[in-house]
């Protein structure tokens, strides 16, 4: 639920908070689609959704990227509880109720009866216990999740429909993470290597959609679960198209071969404003809990020195990038919390673009061109490094190209390397990189432990290798503080340390920009965005899956 997931820099296109339609429609679009606005919901049709990148796996316990969560969460797999779309309060899902002890150490969930996995096997509390045990198993590739459950002493199935989590110490997000823990079927995952279980390619959940197929490099297809325990969605099938090039994705959208895709800044501002486009599509822009960054691998000799990392930040002209490349669709950020949340410290000032200050810091750190070849060096090591970007990140490529020229001016050689998403994530996991550009997708409330605690530096999401004892102390203290104002005070001190150390050059919280075909109705906007499980297509507008009777 509130876990942090890797996202492609500035290309994440989930429907989330503060969504608003952009621009007006032509008369022809009103005539064609608006007359169906008040029709009653009906079943049928497919949603063709451009996923943007291919997930490494659909195992929700081992996956670290947001693309898996787009496919799985709420569609295939479900959790004990979820956040309400309207109020953001935690409400029942697989669990019909729960009880919390007065000391906030024991959380007991009472599971609904009659729920079955997609293969017909009953869902029970034993699946919850099994999933927890796998998360905590050091042989399972789930260090990003273990950090949230490390303070649990035990998880017990009291019976088939009752599961109890017992903590060693209080945790302010305990209800969200116990209730929001990914749950997989024990009977499918119990045999063989959990990390390579075939269900990672063919998931079996309890949700309103069943997995149908995964054609590598092309699409992932879900179909409606006709035996779903809850209210069934109207859309019969979701097809996740794998189109990583946003230029191609927009072309396919305009041909009406997909229904939904993210838009780059230039696509939003200049390439989707025609009356022809408005005839068939609505555009939406919205802020989500996210931020983008450049991460410096602090294990490398170039970036082990705080002065060098700060110099790199001075060489990134973020305001110019935001204005010229992103058309002001976002905000420059300085610290690791969502910019529109109370936890974000607005008093921390942005390091400005200042090449002269950067050169002085590099000189102070001993990175000087000793041999006169135009490249700074220190202790016989040339300041030449590789900048890793995911192949589908257009904005990441633009930013890296600009940075390369800025670094060249001050005597640093940067080589840009683009690789596909699954390989990119593997390089991060193995710490085989110098610098990267990416983003984090966050939850309603954040716990920075997963990314910033030193225990996560070798195996976990702290892939840049940030280690600071005082930061660790503040993170740990905040985890046991239930008073949000006091917790914010701790996070402000933590943010100051991160700002001083500059393990990341924080970039932007970018406004997400997307397009959706107008035939979809029931697209209500909630604090966490529209819920596609409510969407429907009026019968005269349906395109796919129609069955015709033969005479």
Confidence bin at 498 (pLDDT 50/70/90): very high
Interatomic CA distance for residues 284 and 513, integer angstroms: 6
**Rounded to two decimals, what is the model's pTM?**
0.84
Q: Where are the alpha helices (DSSP H) in 371-483?
A: 394-409, 421-429, 449-452, 469-479
Confidence bin at 6 (pLDDT 50/70/90): low
Q: Does 548 have pLDDT greater than 50?
A: no
Residues in a beta bridge with 292: 439
- Please give the pLDDT value at position 249: 97
Per DSSP bridges, beta strands 237-241 and 46-50 are parallel
SS (H, E, C) 181-244: CCCCCHHHHCCCCHHHCHHHCCCCCCCCEEEEEEECCCEEEEEECCCCCCCCCCCCEEEEECCC
Write the CATH number of the domain with boundaries 290-510: 3.10.105.10
Interatomic CA distance for residues 416 and 438, integer angstroms: 14
pLDDT digits 0-9 by tens, 367-393: 999 999 999 999 999 999 999 998 878
Within 13 Å of residue 467, how many CA atoms lie on the same side as its CB?
A: 12
Confidence bin at 547 (pLDDT 50/70/90): very low
Q: Does 415 have pLDDT greater than 50?
A: yes
294 alpha carbon, distance to own chain's centre = 16
Q: Does 32 have pLDDT greater than 90?
A: no
Q: Does 25 have pLDDT greater than 70?
A: no
Interatomic CA distance for residues 186 and 130, integer angstroms: 6
Please compute the mean of the pLDDT values over residues 104-111 and round it to a whole number: 98
- Please give the pLDDT value at position 31: 59
**DSSP assigned state of 456:** G
Q: Domain 81-185 is classified in which CATH homologous superfamily?
A: Dipeptide-binding Protein; Domain 1 (3.90.76.10)
Residues of the chain with CATH 3.40.190.10: 13-75+207-287+513-541
Which tokens sit at 245?
A: 């090039």
Whether 389 and 436 have beta carbons less than 8 Å apart is answered as yes
Whether 522 and 515 have beta carbons less than 8 Å apart is answered as no
Q: Does 154 have pLDDT greater than 60?
A: yes
Please compute the mean of the pLDDT values over residues 250-265 and round it to a whole number: 95
Residues of the chain with CATH 3.90.76.10: 81-185
Give the least confident one: 104-118, 333-347, 463-477, 488-502. 333-347
Whether 498 and 196 have beta carbons less than 8 Å apart is answered as no
**Smallest Cα–Cα separation from 501: which of 466, 528, 538?**
466
Please compute the mean of the pLDDT values over residues 334-351 and round it to a whole number: 94
Confidence bin at 471 (pLDDT 50/70/90): very high
Please compute the mean of the pLDDT values over residues 229-248 and round it to a whole number: 96
pLDDT digits 0-9 by tens, 169-227: 999 999 999 999 999 999 999 999 999 999 999 999 999 999 999 999 999 999 999 99
Residues in a beta bridge with 52: none
Q: Where are the alpha helices (DSSP H) in 298-390?
A: 306-314, 318-324, 355-364
Question: What are the residues whose beta carbons fall under 8 Å from the beta carbon of 193, sequence distance 6 or more?
Answer: none
- Please give the pLDDT value at position 392: 77
Residues of the chain with CATH 3.10.105.10: 290-510
Which tokens sit at 491?
A: 């996070």
The CATH class of 13-75+207-287+513-541 is alpha beta
Average pLDDT over the chain reads 91
Whether 462 and 4 have beta carbons less than 8 Å apart is answered as no
The percentage of the chain sitting over the pLDDT mark of 70, rounded to a whole number, equals 93
- CA angle, residues 434, 438, 441, in degrees to nearest 5: 140
Give the start-end residues of each E strand in 231-289: 237-241, 260-262, 281-286
Which tokens sit at 45?
A: 């049709």
DSSP for 34-91? GGGTTPPP----EEEEE-SS--S---TTT--BHHHHHHHBTTTB--SEEE-TTT--EE
Interatomic CA distance for residues 259 and 239, integer angstroms: 10
Confidence bin at 27 (pLDDT 50/70/90): very low
SS (H, E, C) 86-128: CCCCEEECCEEEEEECCCCCEEEEEECCCCECCCCCECCHHHH
Interatomic CA distance for residues 218 and 529, integer angstroms: 27
**Smallest Cα–Cα separation from 264: which of 274, 254, 252, 250?**
250
Q: Which residue has the tokens 């989330």?
A: 16
- Torsion angles phi and psi, residue 49, rounded to 5: -120, 125
């Amino acid at each position: 639920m509130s876990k942090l997931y890797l996202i492609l820099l500035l290309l994440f296109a989930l429907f989330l908070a503060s969504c608003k339609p952009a621009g007006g429609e032509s008369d022809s679009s009103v005539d064609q689609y608006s007359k169906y606005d008040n029709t009653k919901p009906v079943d049928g049709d497919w949603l063709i959704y451009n996923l943007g990148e291919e997930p490494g796996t659909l195992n929700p316990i081992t996956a670290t990227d947001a693309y898996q969560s787009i496919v799985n969460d709420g569609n295939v797999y479900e959790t004990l509880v979820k956040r309400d779309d309207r109020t953001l309060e935690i409400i029942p899902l697989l669990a019909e109720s729960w009880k919390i002890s007065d000391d906030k150490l024991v959380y007991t969930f009472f599971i609904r009866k009659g729920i079955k996995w997609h293969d017909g096997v009953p869902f029970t509390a034993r699946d919850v216990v099994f999933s927890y045990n796998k998360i905590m198993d050091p042989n399972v590739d789930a260090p990003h999740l273990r950090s949230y459950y490390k303070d649990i002493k035990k998880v017990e199935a009291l019976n088939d429909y009752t599961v109890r989590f017992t903590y060693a110490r209080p945790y302010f997000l305990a209800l969200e993470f116990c209730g929001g823990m990914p749950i997989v079927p024990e009977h499918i995952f119990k045999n063989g290597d959990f990390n390579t279980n075939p269900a990672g390619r063919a998931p079996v959940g309890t949700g309103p959609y069943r997995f149908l197929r995964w054609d590598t490099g092309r699409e992932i297809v879900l179909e409606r679960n006709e035996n779903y325990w809850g209210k069934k969605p109207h859309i019969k099938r979701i097809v996740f198209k794998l189109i990583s090039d946003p230029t191609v994705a927009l072309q396919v959208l305009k041909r009406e071969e997909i229904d939904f895709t993210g838009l780059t800044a230039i696509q939003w501002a200049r390439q989707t404003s025609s009356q022809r486009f408005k005839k068939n599509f609505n555009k939406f822009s919205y802020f989500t809990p996210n931020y983008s960054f450049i991460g410096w691998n602090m294990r490398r000799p170039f970036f082990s020195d705080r002065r060098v990392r700060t110099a790199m930040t001075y060489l990134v002209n973020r305001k110019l990038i935001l204005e010229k490349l992103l058309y002001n669709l976002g905000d420059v950020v300085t610290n690791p919390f969502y910019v529109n949340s109370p936890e974000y410290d607005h008093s921390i000032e942005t390091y400005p673009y200042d090449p002269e200050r950067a050169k002085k810091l590099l000189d102070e750190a001993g990175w000087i061109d000793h041999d006169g070849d135009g490249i700074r060096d220190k202790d016989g090591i040339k300041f030449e490094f590789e900048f890793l970007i995911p192949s589908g990140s257009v904005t990441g490529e633009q930013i890296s190209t600009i940075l390369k020229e800025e670094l060249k001016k001050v005597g640093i050689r940067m080589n840009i390397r683009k690789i596909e998403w699954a390989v990119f994530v593997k390089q991060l996991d193995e710490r085989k990189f110098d610098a990267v550009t990416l983003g984090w997708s966050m939850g309603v409330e954040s716990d920075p432990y997963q990314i910033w605690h030193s225990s996560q530096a070798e195996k976990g999401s702290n892939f840049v290798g940030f280690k600071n004892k005082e930061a660790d102390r503040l993170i740990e203290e905040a985890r046991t503080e239930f008073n949000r104002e006091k917790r914010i005070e701790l996070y402000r001190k933590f943010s100051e340390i991160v700002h001083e150390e500059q393990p990341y050059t924080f970039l932007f919280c970018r406004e997400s920009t997307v397009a959706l075909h107008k035939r979809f109705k029931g697209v209500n906007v909630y604090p966490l965005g529209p819920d596609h499980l409510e969407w429907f297509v009026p019968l005269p507008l349906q395109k796919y899956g129609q069955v015709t009777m033969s005479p």
